[in-house]
Structure 1
Amino acid sequence: MHKVLVLICCLVWCWGCSPLKTMTRWYRDSINPTPQVDLTIQADQECGPQGFPASFVLIDTKLERLGRDLSTQDSYPDDRWFDAFWARHAWLHSMVAVTIHGDILAKRTHSLEAEDTTIDYLSLLHGDIEDRMPKAYLLQGSSETRIALSMPFFKENIWKGCLVAVFACDTLIQDAGSSRELALLDAQGSILWGGRYGTLLDAMAEQPWKDRLKDDVRGEYEIHDKRFFWLGRFFFGTWLIYTSEITG
């Protein structure tokens, strides 16, 4: 009799657990599934189609590190910070600390060219003051195009000036492998780096970039029966557009 009771209890326990397991599995699979990352899709979204120049990743990484390092400094730094920042981003043209009145407090530069003195730092003294984030500005020079990244700094929550990192687009790009396969523009069609596309640059600049960026950040287009891929990156208030011919 004792064995029969034990057997009945086991059957009842098994019958009761089966729905519980089914319910648990249904909840796990349907209501609260374990998140899975499709690395193949993610890699394709980040790097574009097969054949997109590897130089894009190197350039994009440089800009990301620059923005991250500058955006964390919202107070006036000491000399050790300037030296470390300058060493970490040795490809920069210059790094300047400017007061709201235009007085230069500190400066690091690789160039003694006269053109360097023509930069109007007062026009760059804005940044994103409300959110304490950098803001990018395009500087059109006579011989090259530069980008300035301006980060506001504060003392006792009062805006005192900006840290301004300036770099030339050709210096940023030309050291990266396969850089000639890549062209770089902004949303207004300004050519920041032409790569090997000299005769096609005017047609690239005339593309409706602003309209395209309203709907997507990547896509394809054609110029003279040649197919091109483009990828847009939002860089602190400025769109940077990477584009390359699709071959093969």
Structure 2
Amino acid sequence: MKRTVSAALAALSCLVILSGCGTMKTSWRDTKKLYRSYINTDPTIDFSEQGISDKGLQRLASLLMPVDERLMGLLRVIGSQDTPPESDWAQQLLSSHDWLSGVAVIDTSGAVVSQAPTASLRPLDFSGLLEFADRYKTRKMGAQVKTDEFGTVVMVAAPYFKENEWAGLVVAFFDPRNLVRFSPEPDALVVLSTDGLVWPGGSGQGEALAGLKWAEMLKGGVQGEVASGGGQYVWQARYLGQLEMVYLTDVREARAKKPEPPKAAPVPTPEPSPADVSPTAAPNP
């Protein structure tokens, strides 16, 4: 690098001294080009790189992110409440997460200590969540998906403690229809879990997809593709307590679209060359 710099500067000096007035302008341009090429090189940016290039994965990400972000936000809030919450805490949680159906505080026997709202149109049985007591004692969360004549409900449980001993659960529960509405196209999104179907979407393939051997498929990774009913589904999984939630969408149409031509990098405006200076004739003696 030092040799290149020295050579370039030497070339510049020689050009200044030896060039005639008529070639001064051309020589300056050549020298400036040499300077930019080897001494003060401009960094280049690849404007064609857009991160995920798979149109199918881009499609899935756009559908699931508004849903998943809200769900993960809920986990952070209830996961940080490790003492018995006050009633106003539950009301604040429902206000900030208006897609929730309710919040219940239960003890280790499953008895409801408090609940908001106090009256529920749907009878709920939280006893199934107590099966994960070993998780709660190590401050891990649990979850359950239940479907009955009233529809599907998702329950997420976080443990609370008294004198550092597990004393019960804070359970947030919701109808998945209230959560998937945040997706730009809820009918294009399928949500299932290792407990069963959560949201069937509008393709009519929800039940068939939920019936696949997900316990085996999820051993191989958290992302993949699967064919069902003539569709090609890309899926992404994440943990919800001990459950794995899986988001899927049919990507045939997204991948069939022709990609838009990449935007060209802006062309830099050339700097104006210095004015051509004519030498001043020496006065006659």
Instruction: With the length of structure 1 as denominator, give the TM-score of the two structures.
Output: 0.73
2:240 is matched with which residue? 235
Determine if contact 1:54/1:178 at 8 Å carries over to the other structure: no
Secondary structure, in 3 states, of the residue corresponding to 1:54?
Answer: helix
After TM superposition, give the deviation of residue 111 of structure 1 in Å: 6.7
**Cα distance in 2, alignment partners of residues 202 and 139 from structure 1:** 15
Counterpart AA for 1:193: W
Determine if contact 1:53/1:179 at 8 Å carries over to the other structure: no
1:64 is matched with which residue? 72
After TM superposition, give the deviation of residue 210 of structure 1 in Å: 1.8
* 1:192 maps to 2:198: yes
Q: Using a 3 Å threshold, how does the CA distance of structure 1 residues 74 and 207 change in structure 2: closer, same or farther?
A: same
Determine if contact 2:145/2:198 at 8 Å carries over to the other structure: no
The two structures, once aligned, show a CA RMSD in angstroms of 2.5
After TM superposition, give the deviation of residue 187 of structure 1 in Å: 2.8
Counterpart AA for 2:235: W
- Structure 1 runs not aligned, ≥5 long: 1-38
After TM superposition, give the deviation of residue 140 of structure 1 in Å: 1.9
Query: Which structure has the greater CA radius of gyration?
Result: 2
Segment of structure 1 superposing worse, 205-214 or 232-241? 205-214
**Cα distance in 2, alignment partners of residues 132 and 50 from structure 1:** 35
Q: Using a 3 Å threshold, how does the CA distance of structure 1 residues 208 and 156 change in structure 2: closer, same or farther?
A: same
After TM superposition, give the deviation of residue 141 of structure 1 in Å: 2.0
**Cα distance in 1, alignment partners of residues 166 and 176 from structure 2:** 29
Query: What are the Cα deviations for residues 103-144 of structure 1, in whole angstroms up to 9, with x where unaligned?
Result: 32221139731xx22x22233234522221221112222131
Determine if contact 2:146/2:152 at 8 Å carries over to the other structure: yes
Segment of structure 1 superposing worse, 136-145 or 219-228? 219-228
**Cα distance in 2, alignment partners of residues 44 and 167 from structure 1:** 34
Secondary structure, in 3 states, of the residue corresponding to 2:82?
Answer: coil
After TM superposition, give the deviation of residue 83 of structure 1 in Å: 2.4
Which of 102, 119, 127 pairs up with 1:94? 102
Query: What are the Cα deviations for residues 184-225 of structure 1, in whole angstroms up to 9, with x where unaligned?
Result: 11135x221111112x23431232322221111111122244
Q: Which has the higher contact order (CA 8 A, sep 6+)?
A: 2
**Cα distance in 2, alignment partners of residues 83 and 67 from structure 1:** 16
1:209 is matched with which residue? 214
**Cα distance in 2, alignment partners of residues 139 and 225 from structure 1:** 29
Which of 83, 90, 93 pairs up with 1:85? 93
**Cα distance in 2, alignment partners of residues 175 and 235 from structure 1:** 19
Determine if contact 2:193/2:244 at 8 Å carries over to the other structure: yes
* 1:163 maps to 2:202: no
Determine if contact 2:200/2:207 at 8 Å carries over to the other structure: no
2:120 is matched with which residue? 112
After TM superposition, give the deviation of residue 82 of structure 1 in Å: 2.0
* 1:176 maps to 2:176: no
Identity %: 23
Q: Using a 3 Å threshold, how does the CA distance of structure 1 residues 60 and 111 change in structure 2: closer, same or farther?
A: farther
Determine if contact 1:48/1:231 at 8 Å carries over to the other structure: no
After TM superposition, give the deviation of residue 44 of structure 1 in Å: 7.0
2:137 is matched with which residue? 130
Determine if contact 1:136/1:236 at 8 Å carries over to the other structure: yes
Secondary structure, in 3 states, of the residue corresponding to 1:49?
Answer: helix
Deviant stretches of 4+, over 3 Å: none
* 1:219 maps to 2:200: no
Determine if contact 1:138/1:148 at 8 Å carries over to the other structure: yes
Query: What are the Cα deviations for residues 170-194 of structure 1, in whole angstroms up to 9, with x where unaligned?
Result: 1111243211100111135x22111
**Cα distance in 2, alignment partners of residues 191 and 120 from structure 1:** 19
Counterpart AA for 1:186: S
Q: Using a 3 Å threshold, how does the CA distance of structure 1 residues 79 and 201 change in structure 2: closer, same or farther?
A: closer
After TM superposition, give the deviation of residue 98 of structure 1 in Å: 1.2
- Structure 2 runs not aligned, ≥5 long: 1-48, 257-285
